[in-house]
Chains A and B, each alone.
Chain A
C-alpha cells in the first residue's frame, strides 16, 4: 500500500494514500468537529457530501480552507486544524447554520442528544450576528406519518437521511429538492411520506444529527393507559432492546440488561410484563412448519411451491417488497411478525384467561424499531377496529419513560418476566440480529425433520455482519441452502437474483436495518460509532448461550399453548390468529387511454 507522509498540527504522520485529512487527524487523536459527515465503516455506510464546512482546516499553500472530511492527504502537506483562522471560520459556519435553525431546543425531541446543539455548546455560541428579522427563516409544515415526524425547519441539509434512503436502503423516498432557502430533503413532489415508497425503516431518523427527523412519540399515551384504572396493560419487549437499553443509563454497550429492563417495566406499573421472545419462539413454530411444508412438497416433486421462503418478521422489509417487488409477495412466509403474534395472543387467549374484554386491555410493545409503529396500525391486525397492539414504543421512548418516572435503572434488582407469555429460549433472543431468525428456524427444522437432536446448536456459518451471506446446512443428507441479507440494498440484490432465476436458496432471511434489529431506528443513537453495534451483536449471542433452553420447540410454554389453545402449528386456529397476507403497494405508471 502506498504511504504518504504529511504534517498535521506540527506532528509528522504517515497514512495510506487516499486517507482524508479527517481520518488522519482522528488517528492522531486530534478531534476535528463534523456535522454532515457520517460513516459506519463495517456496515458500508458513508455520507461525505463535504457540505456543512464545520470541519475546515488550513492547508499550507492553499488560498481557501479545506474541508477535512473530503480532502485527501497529499505528500508533504502541512495542515493546521486549530489555527485562529480555522476556529473563526468554523464559528462563522456554525452561526450561519444556526441562523436558519429554530432555537426551541428546550422543547425539541433531540434536546440533549443533538449534534448541532453539541457544536453550539462547544463553540460557546451566544448572540448570533446572522439572525435576520422575524420570519426570515425557512418554513415548512411539520409532517406526521405513523412512524416518523418530519420537522424540516430543523433540517441542516447534511443529507445523511438521503444517503441512507437511497444508498443503504435503495428505497428512494427522499431527495434534496428546491434550492436556496426553500431547499430541503423531501419526497417526490413534496408529497406526504405515506404516498412515497417509504418503508418506515427509520434509518433516516437513526442518523439525523438534529431534530428534523424523529419518531412519533407514544410515551404520553402509554402513561395514560398505565394510570387508567379501567384498563389492564400488557407489555412485550423485543430481543434487541435488552442489549441496548443500558446505554441510555450509562452502562457499557453490549450489556445484557434483561433483568433490569423487566424490573423497570414492573416499576412503571404495567400489569403484565411479557416478552416478545416468547412470540419469537411461536414464530419459529409457525414459520418453521411452513418452511418444512413447502420443502416437503417441493422435494416431493411439486415445483409450483413458492420458494425460496422469505422471512416476514421485519415490517420495513414487508413494506419494501409490497412497494418494490409486489409480484413476489407469495414468497414470504405468511407468519405474522413476533410483535403481531404476541398482540393477537394477548388479546385473545390471554384476555380470556384473565377474564377481560379485548377493549379493556392496552397492549404495548417496546421495539428497537420505528416501522413497528406503522405495523400496529395496519388494518389486518385489528379486530373490529381494535388493534392487537395499541402502542409500539421505541427503546429510546422507554428510556425516557424510565427517566421520567425517576427509576434508578442501574441499581434495580433483576426481575423475571411474568407467566405465561414470558418464557423463552436462546433461539428467540437471536431474532435481534441479522442471521438470528434463520438460525432459530434451522435449529427447530433440523430436529423436526430428522427427529434427531442437533449435534451442535451454534451455526457459526450463519453469523456475521457482511451484507449478504449464504450457507449450506446439512440436514441429515438434505442440503438446505440459506441466504441472509440485511440492509435493503442487499435485500434488493437477492430479490433481483430470484427474479432472474439465479437463486439457489431454499430460505432467505431479510432484515431492513444494517445489522438487523440491534441497529434498528428505535435504538439508542450510536452517532456513527460502529463499535456499539458490534457490542450489541456480541451481546445477543452471549444472551443466547446463557439461556437454559436454546431451541424454540423445546419452550414448555409454547408447547403448552399448542396443547391448550392453538392445536397444531399452521393449523386452523394458527391461521386465524398468527398468519397474514400481503398487498401490492407499488406506485405504478399506467396509461389512461381514454384521455
Chain B
C-alpha cells in the first residue's frame, strides 16, 4: 500500500532552524509570508520538504503554502548559485538596454531566468531597480553592483568569478 511518506532530505540543523523561525512567529498561519522570507534568507530557497515542514508547524495545508510560494516571484524553489546574478529590469535600466544585458548573461551562463547552472556556481534572476538608475543598466553579482553595462562586458564579469573557482 502506498503510504506516501515524504522523507525529508534536510540536515537536522536546517530542520531545527526552520522550526525555530516558525516558533518565533508563534506558529501563526497569518505570519506565513514572514516565515517564508526568513526561511529563504537562511536557506536561499524553499524546497518542497521545507514547505511541508512549515505547513505542519503552522497547521495549514501544504497546498496553501505552495500557493503563496508560487504566487510571489521573490520566493524560489530552486537553490541559488554560489554567485547569484541579478539583472535590473527597472524602467531606467530597461530603456538603456537591460534586456540585452540579461540575454548576454543567459548566453554566457547557459541558463534561463530563475535557473541555476549545473555546477551550482551561478544563478540568474531579474529584479526591479536597485536605486542606482544613474548607472543604468546595472546588474548585481553576489551583492556587488556593476553599472553602465554593455553586453560585451558580461563575459569579463563572469570570468572574474569563474577564475575564483
Chain A residues proximal to chain B, CB less than 8 Å: 166, 171-179, 186-190, 195-197, 379, 583-593, 595
Contact = CB atoms under 8 A, between A and B. Distances in A.
Given A175-B61, A187-B63, A591 B48 contact: no
13 contacts: A172-B60, A174-B63, A175-B64, A175-B66, A179-B71, A186-B63, A188-B52, A189-B48, A189-B51, A588-B5, A588-B6, A592-B9, A595-B9
Contacts of A179: 70-71
Contact of B61 (A173, A190, A583, A586): A173
B12 interface: yes
Given A173-B63, A188-B61, A586-B5, 5 more contacts: A188-B65, A189-B66, A585-B2, A591-B15, A595-B9
A166 B6 contact: no
Contacts of A174: 63
Nearest to A173: B63
A588 B5 CA distance: 5
Interface of B: 1-12, 15, 48-49, 51-53, 55-56, 60-67, 70-71
A172 B66 contact: no
B66 A177 contact: yes
A583 B6 CA distance: 16
A587 B49 CA distance: 11
B5 A188 contact: no
Contacts of A591: 8, 10, 12, 15
Nearest to A592: B7
A110 to B, nearest CB: 24
Nearest to A172: B61
Contacts of B4: 195, 585-587
Shortest 8 CB-CB distances between A and B: which pairs?
A172-B61, A175-B63, A175-B67, A188-B62, A188-B63, A188-B66, A177-B70, A175-B64
A431 to B, nearest CB: 28
Contacts of A173: 61, 63
Nearest to A323: B4
Contacts of B8: 589-592
Does more than half of chain B's interface fall in helix, strand or loop, or is it mixed? helix
Contacts of A186: 63
A180 to B, nearest CB: 10
B6 A593 contact: no
Question: Is the contact region of chain A dominated by helix, strand, or loop, or is it mixed?
Answer: loop
Contacts of A588: 5-6
A326 to B, nearest CB: 9
B5 A166 contact: no
B102 to A, nearest CB: 19
Given A179-B71, A188-B51, A587-B52, A172 B64 contact: yes
A584 B62 contact: no
Contacts of A195: 4
A179 B63 CA distance: 15
Contacts of A595: 9-11
A197 B52 CA distance: 13
A195 B66 CA distance: 15
A415 B156 CA distance: 87
Contacts of B51: 188-189
Contacts of B48: 188-189
A196 B2 CA distance: 12
Central interface residue in B48, B56, B64, B70, by most chain A CB within 10 Å: B70
Nearest to B72: A179
A592 B15 CA distance: 11
Contacts of B66: 175, 177, 188-190
A327 B4 CA distance: 16
A591 B6 CA distance: 9
Given A379-B1, A587-B5, A177 B71 contact: yes
Contacts of B71: 176-179
A189 B50 CA distance: 12
B112 to A, nearest CB: 15
B7 A590 contact: yes
A592 to B, nearest CB: 5
Contacts of A587: 4-6, 52, 62
A37 to B, nearest CB: 21
Nearest to B5: A588
Nearest to B67: A175
Contacts of B10: 591-592, 595
Contacts of A592: 7-10
B7 A176 contact: no
B70 A590 contact: no
A190 to B, nearest CB: 8
Contacts of B15: 591
A55 B15 CA distance: 47
Nearest to B53: A589
A174 B6 CA distance: 19
B68 to A, nearest CB: 9
Contacts of B64: 166, 172, 175
A178 B70 contact: yes
A443 B64 CA distance: 44
Contacts of B52: 188, 587, 589
Contacts of A175: 61, 63-64, 66-67
Nearest to A587: B4
A588 B8 CA distance: 9
Which of A172, A189, A379: most chain B Cβ within 10 A?
Answer: A189
